[in-house]
Amino acid sequence: MHNRWFVRGALTLALADILLIALGVRAGFPKLMVWLPAVGGPVLAVAAFRGAAALTEGALRTFWRRVSYGMGAVAAAAVSQTVDVGTTEYSGMPPIGARTLLLYVIGTILAISAMLRLPGGGRSWRQLTTAVLDVAVVAVAAGIASSQYVGWFIDRFGVTASAWWLNIAMMAIAVAGVVVVVKIMAASRSPVPRAALWWLAPVGLCGPLSTVLMSVLSPWPHLNGSAAVLPFVGLFGVLAARAQVRHLGVLPRSRRAAASRRGTAIPLVATGLTSLLLVTVFVRTGHLTVVQVGGTTLLLLLVVARQAVALAENAALLDTVANQAMHDDLTGLANRRFFADAVAGARTVVLIDLKEFRALNDGLGPDVGDALLVAYGARLSALARSADERAVVARLGGDEFGVLLSAEPDAGQGDFAGRLLAAADEPLQAAGHEVLVDVFVGVAEGDFADLYRRAELALRAAVASGGRLVRYDASLERRLSRRATIAADLRRALTAGEFHMLYQPIVELPHGRMVAVESLIRWTRSDGTVVPPADFVPVAEDTGLIVELGAWIIDTVCAQAAAWRRAHGPDALRSVAVNVSARQLLDPGLPDLVAAALARHGVPASQLTVEITETAVFGGGRALATVTALSELGVAIALDDFGTGHSSLGLLRTCPVDAIKVDKSFVDGLGGTPQQEAIVTALTGIAETMGLRTVAEGVETAAQARRLYELGYRHAQGFLFARPLPAGEIDAMLDRLHLAA
């Protein structure tokens, strides 16, 4: 806010100065009046510089402090010149004492020192050569202009000692302006914003301009050339400080942009102004001096050399940009664009996706994630070059990589995918961490125009199936086409009512009495075609429709549980189980949805069991929070297919589990060796100790049922007792149980 007031004050003083000069050529007034804005302008600039220094730090703060010292000397010189004018009678050139000239020179030297000590940053040799030539062009142009200025000064003010001292002071101020311009051209990464430097540049013109105005205003003794320019010195200084303050918090331009826009116009403008000056001199005098002719020749040679170097620099820059456009910034590998263009010459396309990279990146941090990508890119390059020296290795985006192999399969690349999988067993070094990274791999081989698309299909199939390696074949295309068809039909099927629920009994051992049921969704199209759950459930999860489908399942199961309670009593079934996917657990609204369904149908929460997989909650986070919220509703939680996912006994402590369902693969080992029965035996002991119910899944023989009972299992489920049944058949079984009781 204070910076804005500085600008308004400096602008007011500059306008007042113009008004005083306009009035002074028509009427006289006290000669000290014009010095009020002349002193006020530099004083405001000093205050603005100090304010900019207070808001910055490091090299910026040092720079603005140094510039404020220089402007402070100029302000003191203005006060000193005011005293000279007020205490001396004069006609012609206004008096300027030695003290005043010394203060102007000191201020100029301090300003030049601040500029020269401002860091400028590094650059390439071409950029440095261009900058040197730019400086030379400006210096020669300034020299030609100075020679003309000196000649005019001598003709007008003579060669007295005071005139020479005045000329030295004014030339020093002009040099300060040239130094600012040179600094702007030479600095590739100056901490001071360019706008601030450009506002400081015109200050250098104010010195010579003041002597010109001295001559122009000499008929009016109450006016003064120095007083006429000093308010503008202050205004330019205040505007420079304002540019610095406004720049704070703004991201700097890219180095490349700064280099390319560094100002090819500066030497051209300097050359153009010099040419205009020489034309004016020639028109007025009819000749040019030796200095002017020689300087002009040198100037033209410098401009030609500068443009030649600039063209070479631009060509190198274009090569760099073209290279960067085809390569990944992080790893230095080829990027997707280059990869897609190079596929035409490949015999084999291999696409790789890093397993669980997002979890690693979130857990270890983005710096480690970036280091891991670089390390894997180096590993992949080494493997690919060993298989094919002409191999193209690319990072296609995120954690996806690609390899193009051009040699025939029997020339060494046939086992490339196998070596790629084997390498995943070796840890990578990433920012001080040893990380094991497994991969999904999709491979397409042959002489086909669409190898890239085929490899993408193979990779997609590998990710979807959880397998490590998938090679493209025609059956894959058919499966993916079927998957796409299922995805397109899912929502229509839900709207059309093509889904229905089956219920598989859970029995109590040893007598086999039904005590609970597990609900299972089925899809039968209107034409009678049955779509297996293994086909449509993963697609529903991938498309996100599982959330809407899951809401329908929960409502349908709660409605059916309420119907059984009304028909057979509240104790007919202890529990009705419903499966909930990992994607549903990421929905924070799931607990409210379950609570609403239970309340709508009048089913107590204790009669509903939510079955989840270990993998869904292994990582904790939002999924585990959702399970905890469901448990707090009073809903029972069961771990389904226990032992086949990310099995961890610690999960039984952190997750609010009420029951574990032992997977069929362990039940199949019953009756074999002790090693085969070990897990089933151990689980029942752990569950009993922790107060958990156990349910053995996939029981198909009476021998398995007997052995489970001997091991302590009291609940089982499987084809031995019943296959999944419609709700009506569960009703019939409940009726028979009631009659038997």
From the list 323, 337, 349, 331, the residue with the least C-alpha distance to 398 is 331
pLDDT attached to residue 670: 83
From the list 135, 75, 69, the residue with the least C-alpha distance to 100 is 75
Say which amino acid occupies 221.
Answer: P
CA triple 120-309-134, angle to 5 deg: 45
pLDDT attached to residue 642: 78
Structure tokens at 115: 């500029």
Q: Which of the listed ranges 42-46, 114-118, 477-481, 541-545 does the model predict with the highest average pLDDT?
A: 42-46
Which segments within 355-423 are labelled E, that is strand? 392-397, 400-405
Q: Which of the listed ranges 161-170, 185-194, 567-576, 617-626 does the model predict with the highest average pLDDT?
A: 567-576
Confidence tier at 412 by pLDDT (50, 70, 90): very low
CB half-sphere exposure, 583, CA atoms < 13 A: 15
Give residue 183's region: left, alpha or beta (phi > 0; psi -120 to 50): alpha
**How many Cβ atoms from other residues are within 10 Å of residue 573's Cβ?**
22
* Of the listed ranges 98-102, 496-500, 650-654, the one predicted with least confidence: 650-654
Q: Is 697 a catalytic residue?
A: yes
Q: Where are the domains of the chain?
A: 2-313, 336-472, 493-740
User: Given a cut of 80, is residue 547 above it in pLDDT?
Assistant: yes
Mean pLDDT of 625-630: 92
pLDDT attached to residue 555: 96
pLDDT attached to residue 409: 45
User: Given a cut of 70, is residue 272 above it in pLDDT?
Assistant: no
- The enclosing H or E element of 515 equals strand 513-524
User: Given a cut of 80, is residue 164 above it in pLDDT?
Assistant: no
From the list 345, 309, 338, 296, the residue with the least C-alpha distance to 145 is 296
- Which of helix, strand or coil describes residue 137? helix
Distance (Å, whole) CA 58 – CA 41: 27
From the list 610, 611, 687, the residue with the least C-alpha distance to 649 is 687
Distance (Å, whole) CA 273 – CA 343: 55
From the list 518, 697, 700, 710, the catalytic residue is 697
CA triple 679-682-688, angle to 5 deg: 135
* Average pLDDT over the chain, rounded to an integer: 80
Contacts of 396 (CB under 8 A, 6+ apart): 335, 336, 339, 351, 402
Confidence tier at 553 by pLDDT (50, 70, 90): very high
Tokens 């950029």 correspond to 127
Helices 35-55 + 2-24 axis angle, to 10: 160
* Of the listed ranges 149-163, 377-391, 483-497, the one predicted with least confidence: 149-163
- Which of helix, strand or coil describes residue 318? helix
- Which of helix, strand or coil describes residue 618? helix
pLDDT attached to residue 522: 96
User: Given a cut of 70, is residue 647 above it in pLDDT?
Assistant: no
Mean pLDDT of 434-439: 86
Higher pLDDT, 180 or 609: 609
* Of the listed ranges 443-457, 492-506, 519-533, 559-573, the one predicted with least confidence: 443-457
pLDDT attached to residue 253: 40
Confidence tier at 269 by pLDDT (50, 70, 90): low
- Which of helix, strand or coil describes residue 446? coil
Contacts of 85 (CB under 8 A, 6+ apart): 31, 32, 35, 94, 95, 224
Distance (Å, whole) CA 420 – CA 441: 9
Confidence tier at 291 by pLDDT (50, 70, 90): low
Q: What is the pLDDT of residues 368-404, one digit of tens each?
A: 889 999 999 999 999 998 888 888 999 998 899 999 9
pLDDT attached to residue 618: 67
Q: Which of the listed ranges 8-17, 80-89, 594-603 does the model predict with the highest average pLDDT?
A: 594-603
**How many Cβ atoms from other residues are within 10 Å of residue 340's Cβ?**
14
Mean pLDDT of 4-18: 87
* pLDDT above 90 as % of the chain: 26
* pLDDT above 70 as % of the chain: 75
Q: What is the pLDDT of residues 343-361, one digit of tens each?
A: 887 889 999 999 888 878 8
Q: What is the pLDDT of residues 679-713, one digit of tens each?
A: 888 888 888 888 899 999 999 999 999 999 998 99
Contact 237, 71 (CB under 8 A): yes
From the list 435, 423, 432, 425, the residue with the least C-alpha distance to 360 is 435
The CATH architecture to which 493-740 belongs is Alpha-Beta Barrel (3.20)
Fold of 336-472: Alpha-Beta Plaits (3.30.70)
Higher pLDDT, 292 or 631: 631
Confidence tier at 159 by pLDDT (50, 70, 90): very low
- What are the two backbone dihedrals, phi and then psi, of residue 530, each rounded to the nearest 5 degrees? -95, 125
* Of the listed ranges 133-142, 547-556, 578-587, 716-725, the one predicted with least confidence: 133-142
Contact 39, 82 (CB under 8 A): yes
pLDDT attached to residue 728: 94
Question: Is the model's pTM score more than 0.75?
Answer: no
Higher pLDDT, 614 or 489: 489
From the list 112, 248, 257, 136, the residue with the least C-alpha distance to 186 is 136
Distance (Å, whole) CA 379 – CA 382: 5
pLDDT attached to residue 720: 92
User: Given a cut of 80, is residue 550 above it in pLDDT?
Assistant: yes
Say which amino acid occupies 99.
Answer: R
Distance (Å, whole) CA 212 – CA 346: 75
pLDDT attached to residue 257: 40
Higher pLDDT, 280 or 166: 280
Helices (H) and strands (E) in the chain, counts: 29, 16
Q: Is the peptide bond before 252 cis (omega within 30 degrees of 0)?
A: no
Higher pLDDT, 516 or 431: 516
pLDDT attached to residue 157: 54
Higher pLDDT, 397 or 249: 397
User: Given a cut of 70, is residue 123 above it in pLDDT?
Assistant: no
Mean pLDDT of 400-427: 76
- Which of helix, strand or coil describes residue 678? helix
